[in-house]
């Protein structure tokens, strides 16, 4: 039996008092690559934010990487996020330090202390995203696609059980989007579980996979037509 990494049952997702999504039933298994699609304003970001603890889950059931989202306390959130790798549309890199120091910052913040282990982990994740030679550069010296690769490397630092990628190609041109997608596909082949919110339907056609759609306050699985 495949291990369930994420499960929501009859969940309702709110942004403050506004109901965004209701009767959400979703299951993601270890090793899955799942798209989350839907027009702007249909609840993709609120769905993602609920999964990494930015919005509380107050109705229904939700379990993610061994955490119960209904019982999640403020003090649990940093620990939940260590088991998740989150990749944002706008990279969220620290501009005042080079790439290696960006990654060191995360390792130190999550309790790493052994310098040689930290160095080898940084080499390993940068290698996975094809950025091993760029550790000395500053984010502003990199292209958008390179910055997003670094953001993916950062998401891999703590061997996450699930990677949440929220519009990771949203700020990138089509060619760069494909390059970033290739990196995510490669990571997925290595057994990482990925849930990726996107509005880039070209990527869905090029890399078909299980797809969830937000529409009319619901989330449902769509069967992709083979093109």
Task: For residue 210, name the pLDDT band (cuts at 50, 70, 90).
Answer: very high
pLDDT digits (tens, 9 = 90+) for 25-38: 999 999 999 999 99
Q: What is the dihedral of CA 99, 101, 102, 105, to 10 degrees?
A: 160
Asked, for residue 140, whether it belongs to a domain, the answer is: yes
| Span 8-21, average pLDDT | 94
The answer on pLDDT for 130 being more than 70 is yes
Residue 127 inside a domain? The answer is: yes
From CA 51, how far away is CA 85, in angstroms rounded?
Answer: 11
Q: What is the pLDDT of residue 112?
A: 94
- Please name the helix (run of DSSP H) or strand (run of DSSP E) that holds residue 16, with its range, or none: none
| 227 assigned to some structural domain | no
The yes-or-no verdict on residue 1 having pLDDT over 70 is: no
CB of 35 closer than 8 Å to CB of 204:
yes
Number of domains the chain contains: 1
CATH number at residue 175: 3.40.50.300
Mean pLDDT, range 50-63, rounded to an integer: 95
pTM attached to this predicted model: 0.92
Q: Taking residues 82-107, report their average pLDDT.
A: 94
Establish if 46 belongs to a structural domain. yes
Q: 107: domain range?
A: 4-222
- In the predicted structure, residue 40 carries a pLDDT above the cut 90: no
Determine, yes or no, domain membership for 61. Answer: yes
* In-domain check, residue 57: yes
Mean of pLDDT over the chain:
93
> Is 36 part of any domain?
yes
């Amino acid at each position: 039996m495949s291990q369930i990494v994420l499960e929501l049952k009859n969940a309702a997702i709110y942004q403050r008092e506004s109901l965004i999504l209701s009767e959400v039933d979703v299951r993601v298994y270890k090793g899955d690559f799942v798209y989350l699609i839907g027009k702007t304003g249909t609840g993709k970001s609120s769905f993602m934010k609920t999964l990494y603890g930015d919005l509380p889950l107050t109705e229904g059931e939700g379990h993610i990487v061994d955490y119960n989202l209904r019982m999640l306390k403020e003090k649990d959130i940093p620990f939940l996020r260590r088991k998740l790798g989150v990749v944002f549309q706008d990279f969220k890199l620290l501009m005042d330090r080079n790439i290696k120091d960006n990654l060191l910052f995360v390792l130190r913040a999550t309790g790493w202390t052994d310098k040689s282990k930290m160095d080898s982990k940084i080499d390993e994740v940068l290698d996975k995203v094809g950025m091993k030679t760029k550790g000395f550069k500053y984010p502003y010296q990199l292209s958008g696609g390179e910055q997003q690769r670094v953001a993916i490397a950062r998401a891999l630092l703590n061997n996450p059980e699930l990677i949440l990628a929220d519009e990771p190609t949203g700020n990138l041109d089509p060619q760069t989007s494909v390059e970033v997608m290739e990196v995510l596909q490669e990571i997925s082949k290595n057994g990482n579980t990925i849930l990726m919110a996107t509005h880039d339907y070209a990527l869905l056609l090029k890399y078909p996979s299980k797809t969830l759609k937000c529409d009319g306050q619901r989330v449902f699985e769509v069967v992709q037509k083979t093109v």
